[in-house]
Amino acid sequence: MPKSLQPDRKQALQRGSAAEARALDYLQQQGLSLIEQNFSCRWGEIDLIMREVQTLVFVEVRQRSSKLFGGAAASVGAGKQARMWHTAEYYLQSKGLAAGRMPPCRFDLIAIDGEQLSWIKDIISH
């Protein structure tokens, strides 16, 4: 990577970390509890894995500076949803949660557009 791009990459990572921290704080204020953060495997990464009562909630956090070009929510297309699904399956298997022992699960999105935060529940239905 050229040295001139390194500061931009570092700033992007810092913005992403700040967005995840904001999302985590918001969800905890809504009564969810953190199970795991930044779970990754060969399929992809899930930003936050939370529990809401008995439901396991897999959360994607997306941030955009504005809603121009559809904003943060529009950036989670079919490909990203498929990666989230496969990553969640792997997570459940790695924790020994087979079909008979698996809690109810849901996929949510925290979309941050500028300063506006939106919590969109159930972004994937299978």
Q: Are 63 and 16 in contact (CB under 8 A)?
A: yes
The band of 1, judged by pLDDT with boundaries at 50, 70 and 90, is very low
Q: How many CB atoms lie within 10 A of CB 16?
A: 14
CA distances from 65 to 18, 73, 77, 109, 114 (A): 13, 12, 18, 16, 5
pLDDT tens for each residue of 34-93: 999 999 999 899 999 999 999 999 999 988 766 666 677 666 778 888 899 999 999 998
Q: Which residue has the higher pLDDT, 60 or 7?
A: 60
Among 50, 44, 41, CA closest to 110: 50
Q: How many CB atoms lie within 10 A of CB 26?
A: 15
Which whole number is the average pLDDT over 86-110? Answer: 87
DSSP per position, 4-42: GGHHHHHHHHHHHHHHHHHHHHHHHHTT-EEEEEEEEET
Q: Are 58 and 88 in contact (CB under 8 A)?
A: yes
pLDDT tens for each residue of 22-38: 999 999 999 999 999 99
Q: Are 119 and 26 in contact (CB under 8 A)?
A: yes
Q: Which domains does the chain have, with CATH numbers?
A: 3-120 (3.40.1350.10)
Which whole number is the average pLDDT over 89-115? Answer: 86
What is the reported pLDDT for 62? 87
